[in-house]
Amino acid sequence: MIHSLFLVNASGDIFLEKHWKSVVSRSVCDYFFEAQERATEPENVPPVISTPHHYLISVLRHRIYFVAVIQSEVPPLFVIEFLHRVVDTFQDYFGVCTEAAIKDNVVVVYELLEEMLDNGFPLATESNILKELIKPPTILRTMVNTITGSTNVGEQLPTGQLSVVPWRRTGVKYTNNEAYFDVVEEIDAIIDKSGSTITAEIQGVIDACVKLTGMPDLTLSFMNPRLLDDVSFHPCVRFKRWEAERILSFIPPDGNFRLLSYHVSSQNLVAIPVYVKHNITFREGSSQGRFDLTLGPKQTMGKAVESVLVSSQLPRGVLNASLNPSQGTYTFDPVTKLLTWDVGKINPQKLPSLKGTMSLQAGASKPDENPTINIQFKIQQMAISGLKVNRLDMYGEKYKPFKGIKYMTKAGKFQVRT
Amino acid sequence: MQEFANQLCENRQFGFKMTDSKYFTTTKKGEIFELKAELNSDKKEKKKEAVKKVIASMTVGKDVSALFPDVVNCMQTDNLELKKLVYLYLMNYAKSQPDMAIMAVNTFVKDCEDPNPLIRALAVRTMGCIRVDKITEYLCEPLRKCLKDEDPYVRKTAAVCVAKLHDINAQLVEDQGFLDTLKDLISDSNPMVVANAVAALSEIAESHPNSNLLDLNPQTINKLLTALNECTEWGQIFILDCLANYTPRDDRESQSICERVTPRLSHANSAVVLSAVKVLMKFMEMLPKDLDYYGTLLKKLAPPLVTLLSAEPELQYVALRNINLIVQRRPEILKHEMKVFFVKYNDPIYVKLEKLDIMIRLASQANIAQVLAELKEYATEVDVDFVRKAVRAIGRCAIKVEQSAERCVSTLLDLIQTKVNYVVQEAIVVIKDIFRKYPNKYESVIGTLCENLDSLDEPEARAAMIWIVGEYAERIDNADELLESFLEGFHDESTQVQLQLLTAIVKLFLKKPTETQELVQQVLSLATQDSDNPDLRDRGYIYWRLLSTDPVAAKEVVLAEKPLISEETDLIEPTLLEELICHIGTLASVYHKPPSAFVEGSRGVQHKRLAGSAGSGESVESPDAGSAAGASEAPPAVIPSQGDLLGDLLNLDLTPPTTAGPPPPPSSGMQMGAMDLLGGGLDSLLGGDLGGSPAMGAGFAAPPAAMPASFSAPVSSGLDDLFDLGGGVGMPMGAYSPPKTVWLPAMKAKGLEISGTFARRAGVIQMEMTLTNKAMSVMTDFAIQFNRNSFGLAPAGPLQVLSPLSPNQSIEVTLPLNTVGPVMKMDPLNNLQVAVKNNIDVFYFSCQYPISMLFVEDGKMERQVFLATWKDIPNDNESQFQIKDCHLSSDASSSKLQGSNIFTIAKRTVEGQDMLYQSMKLTNGIWLLAELRVQTGNPNYTSATVSVPDGLCLAFQTDHLGASLLPSLQSDHGFICNSLCFLPFKLLSLSVTQLSCLKIQFHICSLYSSHSLT
């Protein structure tokens, strides 16, 4: 199982280590540093590295490498999932997961890690259980603790740990009972030069914020559940009910959680909400290149496309770009060659465009590579797959909760090749 | 001053916030005393703060072990947080302060009795983490109690504690019976306890490969499946991994397990999903393919795998490595999902490369257009590694999907036109493969390729280009100039290029002999004289020899038809794949290596095979297998032909009586070779006989039996000389044992080469083998089995190959044999059919053992009996045999033969000839009598033929006296023994089939021999 954990920052310093079995020397990380040096980009460090006596499995989140050391055959996904859980927990506790935040809360971090793994076996990774065991630091609590000498460690056995519904604590009480669901869909797509779709898929999630008193039992039904053929559920969802009736039936955890994630693959028709007209050309022998980009809405069901951000990695030979946006602002970083254009909202009547020239190194040959255009956008009040929640019912409790549902579509990895 | 500056610095950094970072400021040496004082303070709050400071220092790797006693003093407290902090400290430092740690034991034992289950669990958990022997002794009793605690939270913590304790002191755990308690916990009512018990047992089992710790039966499986639905995600992983080790009894059980595991595919935790995929992939093997459920299951597997690819890149990477395996095993699962493997430009490189690999595996006629368009796109990306792999992938597509070959070639040509150096080089390497796959189809592009000759600077690309020039020399007008240009820097080239250049020039010479003599001489001399590389030198000599002795044969060898390459070359070997499928989701599956090959601590992992195909692994045990194999396995005809090449090589080295060894023949030899080349060799080449005259052809491809003895002889004598040396020192009376021959060539056995011989040592027949692994992967699990044979030879024990055989490794194995196995008449009589199994497959070969192996030690007949029997043998059972070139006196022969259990009963001298009368006995009790006549005055006594008194011997001669064995007849040691091999076969075959105590006697001498049947 997981032997040790090292946290490494972007400059290659180990700023925290934790061992669940015997102590493994820091020098084991040298193999990681070697790999880090070889990698051209921070994210290119291979996630599994073998050393003579150990294996290093790492994830990169928030510019921190979480490097787990294992010694025997352990499923790597298990380790990676656990590391992600660690990151999520830190973020949950400290608001952000940065080196400074971790250093500021080093004792809590240590206590958390100790609670999360025992001898390398996961112990308590559910955030509501952890929060019962170790209270998250807040400014108020720190003050109170300092004054009264009380502690931020729970005295009681976490009740959820052993119940049939380990994700929910008992005795939850709210004055305002509310349940909100966000249906968020991300489109991943690759569009080729001519504008036709090479691949497009939708990664959808339903994130919930449930603050309900007692032990409510919820059911959520959809207008078009047939869209959901590839789903992953929160453990609280009763799988049999879903199989039989296509209804989500569950006792929700308290607070924020991800109820469901789903995947609508390219076989089903995925609507593409924006199109790009582009003309990026370099001429042989000339030190100038032309850049011409126009964006427009496509299949948006009448909703506005907002927060549009276009970015593109221009070829290495490009020295500078002098462009003229019809709206928004653009920046070009001459070092990384990254062009970003903050467009804002697309107005269908007056399509946003970015036109101008790029200057190349004098005498250099025409760049070989074609830049790819990356687009980010948001569309409120619409799930691009067409998924619609039908109704939400609550059983087991008497009160009437306040219910809300929100839809949003975002661009995931939305790439246009030129 | 410096310290002060540091302090300032740190203070500024953390800005005196109300956070834990303030603890970092108190770790300088002077502060240890301060901390000590604070730890011993009366105020609880101050104590706690001090412990926090200590922990903070510890986490950043600073040594605060000096505070051990003071921290331990804080342990007796009601404050849970303080207690936990002290526990944290203890775990870290107990090892370095074992005596001090004892002080903590009492508190632990007391805490294990605490009414609060959280404290009980915490105490037992912490105690297990203190890796000090003295403490573990005290741990046993509390642990025993906690394992039976009423609170499941304590039980599940205790279960893990057993694993910890086992890691520290395995013997103690076994002695205390904790393992049994742990096994009982599998039936616990609480699913979390079950999951932890399974996890603990799995970890312990890893260090006990043969123990039956996780003895899975339908009842336990049922319990696990029930717990699976209710435990945490991590517990589900442990249980699923454990389930994967189970082999269901039948397809119905298999299906019911699959049905209960399938819901896990919808879990949000990707590790759970992948473990579920593993179980399903394994148990699917047992389901009949026509079952409806089988199809349903296949459909259900695709979506979760696709979903894994939308996760974080690290998860994607592991998923992709596993999908790579799944796609090889069951391509149908993902055949419609090609698009999800298309590369996004900002994927990390390790994800890109894996996706590319899977794209090729999924490429088919249906989707090839799309794939090619993508690949072409990738080939213009920025990342060099990725671009190279994309270009290579285009080549692989061409080879895999024949219909696409033309498009691939034109795509590659487009890429070559870009003139991007590394793209051009990769393209040329793959075009070479395309030429080999589709000969005579795309050679029109050669011209374009030649244009880029100068830009090639990588060995692989240069070698590929040289290969193309050599292969198509007749179509390239200036092939000689091109190759000559490479030759100039011959010594600076890598071996790969040198070898290729040598071959290419020889090809060129054979195709255009008139213009390229100088060139070929130049390259041969470069290769043989100026090079230190044995491979290059050997290849040089082979060509030289071939060209000088028989150019037509050379032509047939060098310009032979090449075996086609197929797309299968990059597939993982089926047996390894099967094993890896059983290990989906593990490190093994990420590295695509068998689990035994790596990861320290897994001191012997049982090899898992897919259930459905287990039959193939067992077949070696079934008695019929051997005979079935034997039928398909003719006595390997490859061997002599290989042998003669080998002989040729050795001959080359052995003929010049230089003692120095390796140094190549001096320049005069070179001259001779050159003359030779221009002499007879060229004549026939230029004589218009290019097609190869029938006579020449026959001479080259002559059947092994007619292989001239002349060149084989020096080989074996050379080897025998060596052998004599060994025998002379080690065992003067040692039995003759022929030199090892290749029984199973590597190409027939997926890389396993077996050569061997038989010997009789100290009364035991031994099969001595050299196993060589010429494959790319490790071989393990060797076993051997014989088919029924004439003398009932059978292995007396298992084949002892203890360590796995890694690539390019050889191992010497001696297998003792007995003669109590089942008997069946073989033809030839001394034929032995053998089946060898390893982790890859079962292989069959046959070999022949010298009959002298069967001569037992008590084969000395009494004189009187001998005389009487001798007379009783009828004349028509007599066989005569003659041995040439025997340099031994009668006494020397006699003592030599005694080493092989051929005993001299009497000797007399008649007319200057020594007559030896000899007897020997076979393992099945059959006696053989012989008369040996040695002409003392004339050691080089030669007489042309064997005299054949009856028709029987003639049959032997034609049947068995293959020319390949003549050399051993002539060698000093083996001569009698081997002649014995052949003579009595027909007769023996009569008797062994009846298995009675029939006595066959036969009689041999240097001029004649006789045998008879009584």
Q: Is B12 on the interface with A (CB under 8 A)?
A: no
Residue where one domain finishes, among candidates A148, A168, A198: A148
Q: Which residues pair with B1008 in a beta bridge?
A: none
DSSP alpha helices (H): ranges in A95-237? 99-104, 106-116, 127-133, 139-148
Which of A338-352, B108-122, B247-261, B714-728 has the lowest average pLDDT?
B714-728
Q: Is B192 on the interface with A (CB under 8 A)?
A: yes
pLDDT at B664: 40
- Angstrom distance (rounded) from CA B46 to CA B38: 6
Picking from A71, A232, A257, A264 by the largest number of B CB atoms within 10 A of its own CB, the best residue to mutate is A232
B552 to each of B543, B651, B964, how far by Cα in Å? 12, 20, 24
pLDDT at B1009: 32
Give the CATH number, domain containing residue A42. 3.30.450.60
Greater confidence (B646 vs B391) lies with B391
Is cis: bond before B828, omega within 30 of 0? yes
Picking from A119, A147, A251, A413 by the largest number of B CB atoms within 10 A of its own CB, the best residue to mutate is A119
Same-domain status, A326 and A278: yes
Q: Is the pLDDT of residue B48 over 50?
A: yes
Q: Per-residue confidence at B713, pLDDT binned at 50, 70, 90?
A: very low
Share of chain B above pLDDT 90, in %: 6
- Angstrom distance (rounded) from CA B510 to CA A309: 66
Task: DSSP letter for B855, please.
Answer: B
**Mean pLDDT over residues A349-378, rounded?**
85
Q: Is the pLDDT of residue B18 over 50?
A: no
Same-domain status, A349 and A368: yes
A50 and B271: CB-CB below 8 Å?
A: no
The total number of structural domains that make up chain A: 3
Residues in chain A within 8 Å Cβ distance of B56: 106-107
Q: Is the pLDDT of residue B841 over 70?
A: yes
The domain in which residue A228 lies consists of 178-270+384-416
- Angstrom distance (rounded) from CA B837 to CA B626: 12
Which secondary-structure segment (H or E) carries B847? strand B842-848
**Mean pLDDT over residues B186-213, rounded?**
82
CA B199 from centre of chain: 31
Contact B766, B758 (CB under 8 A): yes
Same-domain status, A188 and A107: no
Which secondary-structure segment (H or E) carries B467? helix B459-471
Picking from A51, A105, A106 by the largest number of B CB atoms within 10 A of its own CB, the best residue to mutate is A106
B95 and A22: CB-CB below 8 Å?
A: yes
Residues in chain A within 8 Å Cβ distance of B116: 157
Residues 48 to 107 of B: which have CB under 8 A from any A CB?
48, 52, 55-56, 59-61, 79-82, 84-85, 88, 92, 95
**Mean pLDDT over residues B565-589, rounded?**
80
B20 and A75: CB-CB below 8 Å?
A: no
Same-domain status, A138 and A18: yes
Task: DSSP letter for B738, please.
Answer: P
Greater confidence (A273 vs B749) lies with A273
- B56/chain A closest Cα distance in angstroms: 6
Residues in chain A within 8 Å Cβ distance of B52: 107
Closest residue of chain B to A103, computed from CA coordinates: B21
- A285/chain B closest Cα distance in angstroms: 16
Which of A291-295, B217-221, B485-489, B603-607 has the lowest average pLDDT?
B603-607
- B227/chain A closest Cα distance in angstroms: 11
Sheet (strand B752-761) strand order: B741-744, B752-761, B764-773, B810-818, B794-795
Q: Which residues pair with A380 in a beta bridge?
A: A408
Which of B406-415, B466-475, B616-625, B861-870 has the lowest average pLDDT?
B616-625
Q: What SS3 state is found at B848?
A: strand
Query: Is residue A100 a part of any domain in this protein?
Result: yes
Q: What SS3 state is found at A198?
A: strand
Average predicted confidence (pLDDT) for chain A: 85
Closest residue of chain B to A55, computed from CA coordinates: B599
- B251/chain A closest Cα distance in angstroms: 24
Query: Is residue A168 a part of any domain in this protein?
Result: no
Task: Express each pLDDT in A296-306 by its tens digit.
Answer: 988 878 888 99
Closest residue of chain A to B22, computed from CA coordinates: A104
Q: Which of B283, B215, B281, B276 is nearest to B248 (CA)?
A: B283
A80 and B303: CB-CB below 8 Å?
A: no
Query: Is residue A166 a part of any domain in this protein?
Result: no
Task: Choose from A67-76, A122-131, B209-218 the range with maximum mean pLDDT.
Answer: A67-76
pLDDT at B26: 46
Query: Is residue A202 a part of any domain in this protein?
Result: yes
Q: Per-residue confidence at B611, pLDDT binned at 50, 70, 90?
A: low
Predicted-complex ipTM score:
0.83
Same-domain status, A408 and A289: no
Task: Express each pLDDT in B184-196 by its tens digit.
Answer: 888 888 888 899 9
Tokens 């796995």 appear where?
B804
Which of B81-85, B177-181, B221-225 has the lowest average pLDDT?
B81-85
Q: Is the pLDDT of residue B1010 over 70?
A: no
- Angstrom distance (rounded) from CA B322 to CA B278: 10
Same-domain status, A23 and A140: yes
Nearest-CB residue to B44 (from A23, A122, A149): A149
B266 and A157: CB-CB below 8 Å?
A: no
Residues in chain B within 8 Å Cβ distance of A40: 349, 383
Q: Is the pLDDT of residue B829 over 60?
A: yes
Q: What SS3 state is found at A258?
A: strand
Residue B658's contacts (CB-CB under 8 Å, 6 or more residues apart) are none
In angstroms, the first-to-last Cα distance of chain B is 111
- Angstrom distance (rounded) from CA B985 to CA B965: 15
Contacts A–B by Cβ distance under 8 A: 271
> How would you classify the pairing of strands A402-417 and B752-761?
unpaired
Residues in chain B within 8 Å Cβ distance of A118: 125, 157, 160
A76 and B206: CB-CB below 8 Å?
A: no
Average predicted confidence (pLDDT) for chain B: 72
Q: Is the pLDDT of residue B716 over 80?
A: no
Nearest-CB residue to A157 (from B117, B237, B374): B117
Nearest-CB residue to A81 (from B20, B199, B269): B269
Q: Is the pLDDT of residue A407 over 90?
A: yes
Same-domain status, A52 and A193: no
Same-domain status, A38 and A117: yes
Same-domain status, A264 and A329: no
Task: Express each pLDDT in B686-696 by its tens digit.
Answer: 433 333 333 33
Give the torsion through C-alpha atoms of B485, B487, B493, B499, to 10 deg: 120
A74 and B587: CB-CB below 8 Å?
A: yes
Residues in chain B within 8 Å Cβ distance of A203: 310
Q: Is B557 exposed, middle or buried (0-12, 13-18, 19+ CB in 10 A)?
A: middle
Which of A1-5, A27-31, A235-239, B31-35 has the lowest average pLDDT?
B31-35
Q: Is the pLDDT of residue A5 over 70?
A: yes
B342 and A198: CB-CB below 8 Å?
A: yes
Which of B145-149, B355-359, B680-684, B900-904 has the lowest average pLDDT?
B680-684
3-class SS string, A397-411: CCCCCEEEEEEEEEE
Q: Say what angle helices B495-511 and B534-549 make with each other, to 10 degrees.
A: 10
**Rg of the Cα atoms in chain A:** 25
pLDDT at B210: 60
pLDDT at B190: 86
Structure token digits, residue A163: 């119940």
Greater confidence (B265 vs A282) lies with B265
CA B188 from centre of chain: 43
pLDDT at A206: 93
Nearest-CB residue to A369 (from B304, B313, B382): B382
Q: Per-residue confidence at B40, pLDDT binned at 50, 70, 90?
A: confident
Q: Is B841 exposed, middle or buried (0-12, 13-18, 19+ CB in 10 A)?
A: middle
Question: Cα-flanking dihedrals φ and ψ of residue B167, to 5°?
Answer: -65, -35
- B611/chain A closest Cα distance in angstroms: 22
Same-domain status, A366 and A282: yes
3-class SS string, A321-343: EEEEECCCEEEEECCCCEEEEEE
DSSP alpha helices (H): ranges in B330-420? 349-362, 368-378, 384-400, 405-417
Contact B852, B980 (CB under 8 A): yes
Picking from B143, B586, B587 by the largest number of A CB atoms within 10 A of its own CB, the best residue to mutate is B587
- Angstrom distance (rounded) from CA B457 to CA B220: 63
Query: Is residue A39 a part of any domain in this protein?
Result: yes
Which of A232-236, A305-309, B892-896 has the lowest average pLDDT?
B892-896
Query: Is residue A9 a part of any domain in this protein?
Result: yes
Q: Per-residue confidence at B596, pLDDT binned at 50, 70, 90?
A: confident
Q: Per-residue confidence at B869, pLDDT binned at 50, 70, 90?
A: confident
Q: Is B675 on the interface with A (CB under 8 A)?
A: no
Amino acid at B953: C
Structure token digits, residue B829: 């009589």
What are the respective helix, strand and coil percentages of chain B, to the nearest 5? 60, 10, 30
Query: Is residue A258 a part of any domain in this protein?
Result: yes
pLDDT at B653: 37
Q: Is B140 on the interface with A (CB under 8 A)?
A: no
Nearest-CB residue to A77 (from B23, B274, B306): B274
- Angstrom distance (rounded) from CA B976 to CA B386: 66
Q: What is the DSSP string of B543-570?
A: HHHHHHH-HHHHHHHHTPPPPPP-GGGG
> Within 10 Å of residue A156's Cβ, how many Cβ atoms?
10
Q: Is B299 on the interface with A (CB under 8 A)?
A: no
**Mean pLDDT over residues B639-650, rounded?**
36
Share of chain B above pLDDT 70, in %: 72
Residues in chain A within 8 Å Cβ distance of B82: 151
Give the CATH number, domain containing residue A349. 2.60.40.1170
> Within 10 Å of residue A180's Cβ, how many Cβ atoms?
15
Q: Per-residue confidence at B272, pLDDT binned at 50, 70, 90?
A: very high
Same-domain status, A48 and A193: no
Q: What SS3 state is found at B285?
A: coil
A119 and B344: CB-CB below 8 Å?
A: no
- Would you mind telling me the total number of residues written for chain B in this entry? 1014
Is cis: bond before A371, omega within 30 of 0? no
- A402/chain B closest Cα distance in angstroms: 27
Q: Per-residue confidence at B660, pLDDT binned at 50, 70, 90?
A: very low
Contact A43, B348 (CB under 8 A): yes
pLDDT at A140: 54
pLDDT at A130: 82
- Angstrom distance (rounded) from CA A273 to CA B316: 27
Q: Is the pLDDT of residue B623 over 70?
A: no
Q: Per-residue confidence at A143, pLDDT binned at 50, 70, 90?
A: low
**Mean pLDDT over residues B700-726, rounded?**
37
Cβ burial B563-577 (10 Å sphere, 16+ → b, else e): eeeebeeeebbebbb
Q: Per-residue confidence at B315, pLDDT binned at 50, 70, 90?
A: very high
Query: Is residue A312 a part of any domain in this protein?
Result: yes
Nearest-CB residue to B602 (from A23, A72, A82): A72
pLDDT at B726: 35
Q: Is the pLDDT of residue B770 over 50?
A: yes
- Angstrom distance (rounded) from CA A375 to CA A379: 13
Task: Express each pLDDT in A159-184 by its tens digit.
Answer: 545 566 777 777 788 888 999 999 99
Q: Per-residue confidence at B169, pLDDT binned at 50, 70, 90?
A: confident
Closest residue of chain A to B118, computed from CA coordinates: A157
Same-domain status, A248 and A208: yes
Residue where one domain finishes, among candidates A107, A133, A148: A148
- A352/chain B closest Cα distance in angstroms: 25
